[in-house]
Amino acid sequence: MKVIIRAPLLSVTGYGVHARQVFAWAISKNWDVYASIVPWGICTYHLDPDALDGLIGEVMNRSAPVENPDISFQVQLPDEWDPELAKVNIGITAGVETNLCSQAWVDACMKMHMVIVPSTFTKKTFVDSGVPPHKIVTIAEAHSHSDEISVVLDDQLNALPTSFNFLMFGQVTGNNPENDRKNTFYALKWLAETFKNDKDVGIIMKTNLGRFTTADRERSKQMFKKLISEVRQGPYPRFYLAHGMLDNKEISTLYANKSVKALLAPTRGEGWGLPILDAAVAGLPVIATDYSGHLDFLRHIKFLPLDYDIVPIHPSRCDGRIFVEGTAWADVKEGSFKARVTKFRKSSVLPTEWAEAGSEILKEKFSLAAIKEQYDAFMERIVDDS
């Protein structure tokens, strides 16, 4: 069987990780697999064929054109799918992080044989927008956690002057506090206010504005400094900026270091939330919005939820394509956020025990092997329907 996977297979993005999981599953079936590599926004790309245990080289080696493929898996935004690429065409997307999607995306779903989404939240978004439920299947994404760590990075973290550090992830996704999907500005503001007199608290922010370049690092540093100067209320807490392309060992080191006490994710919405999953698999306590895609895995363990209100997205976020007028997302309540981090700072022992207990559950349930089994079951359905 000839299979084509059209996706940002070389991109260092969430969609790139998702696409490579689909690719790894497909080649494990010994099918005749071809890679159609597409770009993904302003991001960094894998260029080393040996990266990810040689998977990048495998993608590159299979990037030749193919005629008359039997099935396509297209990991893209819905309006980028080609419903005539193969005999059977499967669209894969994390959708949009609001409660509804555009009519154009609904129309795109209707033209595909089936659509795969990673979370029940994303499926509900499409169904509520008009896509029939039988058209969409939920298949989770696998975790990327490594049990190995980077000794160099671990030593750097151990050298930090703060012993109680919160970790935050996320590319800055907006140009003002109200339209930033990751809610970075308000999170940093509330942390600055809550821990303004606590010299032992630190905030590690892993972020970027574009590609992982020297120029982007400088822009990110200036943005971060400006933001902190606007929100700082006292001499503390300390803020640290992490920037650049980290491999799985280095990312896992951020979760495993003894001074990193919790992952903060006060997001306004997630289609899945891979960094949140990886942190939870690592046994790191998670403080996250009690809403959207990441609940598909966090519901299996105990975590620290943040209360929220559902509010219309800011008009400046509407682009008429991904984010459309009349949609809404979650707005974390300031009081809930501050109460959670304050209580956690006073006593983190029990949440840490919860996280460590939940780690093994998630590690098995969301392993790549487990996700491959979900794709196997999906293919049996496709064969039965064809």
Same domain for 198 and 308?
A: yes
| pLDDT at residue 218, as a whole number | 87
The total number of structural domains in the chain stands at 2
Same domain for 299 and 379?
A: no
Please state, rounded to an integer, the average pLDDT across all residues of the chain. Answer: 95
| pLDDT at residue 386, as a whole number | 57
CA–CA–CA angle 6, 329, 232 (5° rounding): 105
* Confidence bin at 216 (pLDDT 50/70/90): confident
Distance CA(124)–CA(145), nearest Å, equals 28
Same domain for 354 and 231?
A: yes
Distance CA(376)–CA(148), nearest Å, equals 29
Same domain for 83 and 110?
A: yes
Checking if the pLDDT of 381 tops 90, the result is no
* Confidence bin at 173 (pLDDT 50/70/90): low
Same domain for 132 and 159?
A: no
User: In angstroms, what is the C-alpha Rg of the chain?
Assistant: 21
Same domain for 359 and 375?
A: no
Same domain for 112 and 134?
A: yes
Q: Which residue has the higher pLDDT, 27 or 216?
A: 27
| Structure-derived torsion over alpha carbons of residues 31, 72, 34, 140, reported in degrees to the nearest 10 | -80
Supply the CATH number for residue 124's domain.
Answer: 3.40.50.2000
Checking if the pLDDT of 54 tops 90, the result is yes
pTM above 0.85, yes or no: yes
Same domain for 371 and 361?
A: no
pLDDT digits (tens, 9 = 90+) for 218-235: 888 888 888 888 889 889
Same domain for 356 and 371?
A: no
Same domain for 10 and 155?
A: no
pLDDT digits (tens, 9 = 90+) for 122-150: 999 999 999 999 999 999 999 999 999 99
Same domain for 312 and 164?
A: yes
- Mean pLDDT score, 163-189: 87
Same domain for 247 and 300?
A: yes
- Mean pLDDT score, 327-345: 98
* Confidence bin at 194 (pLDDT 50/70/90): very high
Range of the domain at 29: 2-142+367-385
